């Protein structure tokens, strides 16, 4: 069975995030596997997988900032806001200037209220929005506050007369829909838009440079973890070293004295084991999750 830890996977197109989890369960020979942030089947790139006790770190991974490279097609709208859905409207976009595209993306940068795609996994009255849409319902999803810190144009391509393809680089907060950026840019320009390609290039500090393909993981199974629990915590959190007595206290769920580190942070035992993820509040350092057995 594979060790506890994280795997940075380069997800291929055509698979759901759940499909990848199922494959890793088989390779790692354990059911205790989860992922740190869904990628649509069309999308490729960084998908962080947790194995064993490291699944408890995925809450923090899911909340991390994410970066993407994508292509927006102006001149067509689709039911899913991406290339997987049927085209619902076509409006010639050839007249739209580069300056207008730049201004349209600038308006979508920063802290904004974004309405997620109707064909998303968000639950509306207990049922996934995409299922309601497929059942013929009109779904209204409330907007959510997201932060788009980078929205840079890499290229504007006019290879076809009535559509424009815009390659973009995006860094954004958790919960941002890149499909919605494409939809909203097209709507703002009056020609419609959808996403034709998406590749996630980073989740927090985890990048494509260290990502393994499923074929590479198959070759080294069941030793598929490339970041141990301790290495993963060191990459993601500030570090605190515990004394022997603090180790005993924390392993039993007890609080420690604060040391003034902005949390959450990782606490390690004298022998290097990861003990817990801790936050300081009300004058005490308390475990959010305990990872070492008492």
CA 139 to chain centre: 24
Q: Phi first, then psi: give them for residue 54, nearest 5 degrees.
A: -70, -15
CA distance 128 to 5: 30
Residues in the chain: 294
Peptide bond into 35 cis (omega under 30): no
CA distance 139 to 176: 18
**Closest residue by Cα to residue 71 from 171, 177, 157, 147:** 157
- Quick one: tokens of 133? 């849409």
CA 144 to chain centre: 16
The answer to whether residues 68 and 181 touch, using CB atoms and an 8 Å cutoff, is no
Catalytic residue among 4, 10, 19, 40, which? Answer: 40
Answer yes or no: 159 catalytic: no
Active-site residues, by number, are: 40
């Amino acid at each position: 069975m594979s060790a506890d830890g994280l795997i940075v996977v380069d997800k291929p197109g055509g698979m759901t995030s759940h499909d990848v989890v199922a494959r890793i369960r088989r390779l790692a020979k354990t059911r205790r596997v989860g992922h740190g942030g869904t990628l649509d089947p069309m999308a490729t790139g960084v998908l962080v997988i947790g194995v064993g006790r490291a699944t408890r770190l995925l809450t923090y991974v899911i909340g991390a900032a994410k970066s993407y490279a994508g292509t927006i097609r102006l001149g067509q709208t689709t039911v899913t806001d991406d290339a997987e859905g049927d085209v619902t409207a076509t409006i010639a976009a050839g007249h739209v200037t580069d300056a207008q595209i730049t201004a349209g993306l600038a308006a979508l940068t920063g802290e904004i209220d974004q309405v997620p795609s109707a064909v998303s996994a968000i639950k509306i009255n207990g049922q996934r929005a995409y299922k309601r849409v497929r059942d013929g319902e009109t779904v209204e999803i409330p907007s959510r506050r997201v932060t788009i810190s980078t929205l840079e144009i890499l290229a504007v391509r006019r290879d076809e007369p009535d559509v424009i393809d815009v390659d973009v680089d995006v860094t954004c907060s958790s919960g941002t829909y890149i499909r919605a950026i494409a939809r909203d840019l097209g709507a703002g320009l009056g020609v419609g838009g959808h996403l034709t390609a998406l590749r996630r290039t980073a989740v927090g500090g985890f990048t494509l440079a260290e990502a393994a393909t499923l074929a590479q993981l198959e070759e080294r199974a069941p030793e598929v973890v490339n970041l141990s629990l301790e290495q993963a915590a060191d990459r993601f959190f500030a570090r605190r070293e515990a004394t022997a007595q603090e180790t005993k206290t924390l392993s039993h769920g007890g609080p420690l004295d604060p040391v003034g580190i902005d949390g959450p942070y990782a606490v390690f035992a004298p022998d290097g084991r990861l003990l817990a993820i801790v936050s300081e509040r009300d004058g005490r350092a308390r475990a959010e999750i305990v990872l070492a057995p008492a």
